[in-house]
Amino acid sequence: MNKRWSFYLLAGVLFGIFDFYFQTWIINQLFAGMLGNTAIMVPILGVWLVLVAPIAMREAKVSRSVWLAAAASAFTWSVSVVAYYLFMGVKLILIGQASRAEMHISNRSDPYYWSNIKGFFVGDFLGGVGEWIIVALVGGCLVGLVVGFLTLRAQKNANVV
């Protein structure tokens, strides 16, 4: 069981980093006029199903439990949310961003550098994680329950035939 949950952890971290760049790309498509406001919600929200549906299916098949499928989905989405906001901090501090040059580590001698870093983690990180972790937990459980239920039902019907 530990290998599966380690995989869910790794998938969540990698997806959080991927989603950071994916959101930027999608927003650029919106401003380029390629997608409408409603059409943009499909890829923004749908990409999260691409991550969690296979995880819920696998967990339901292996554990034969919709509850563990729900837990795996909620766990993976929660890890993704934390990874997304942590990567935002890493990008600002280590990689840099032109619009937030005061956050880059090269400016650490600035008298306000550490208060800027604290402001990011207290405001952006905790605020973002606090807001989206609820969605990840509730949504992950719901999606995991539905996908797990459908998977176990399909597996049961396949065994009967």
**One-character DSSP codes across 83-124:** HHHHHHHHIIIII--GGGGGGSGGGTTSTTHHHHHHHIIIII
* pLDDT of the residue at 13: 94
What is the mean pLDDT of the segment spanning 68-76? 96
Q: What is the residue extent of each domain of the chain?
A: 2-160
Average pLDDT, the chain: 87
Tokens of 5: 């949950």
* pLDDT of the residue at 31: 65
- Identify the band that residue 69 occupies on the pLDDT scale cut at 50, 70 and 90: very high
Interatomic CA distance for residues 116 and 101, integer angstroms: 11
* pLDDT of the residue at 79: 96
What is the mean pLDDT of the segment spanning 7-33? 84
Q: Is the pLDDT at 134 greater than 90, yes or no? A: yes
* pLDDT of the residue at 87: 93
* pLDDT of the residue at 74: 96
pLDDT, tens digit, 9 for 90 and up, residues 75-114: 999 999 999 999 989 988 898 877 787 888 888 888 888 9
Tokens of 66: 């919709």
Q: Is the pLDDT at 36 greater than 80, yes or no? A: no
* pLDDT of the residue at 130: 93
- Identify the band that residue 161 occupies on the pLDDT scale cut at 50, 70 and 90: low
pLDDT, tens digit, 9 for 90 and up, residues 113-122: 898 889 888 9
The kind and range of the H/E element at 123 are none
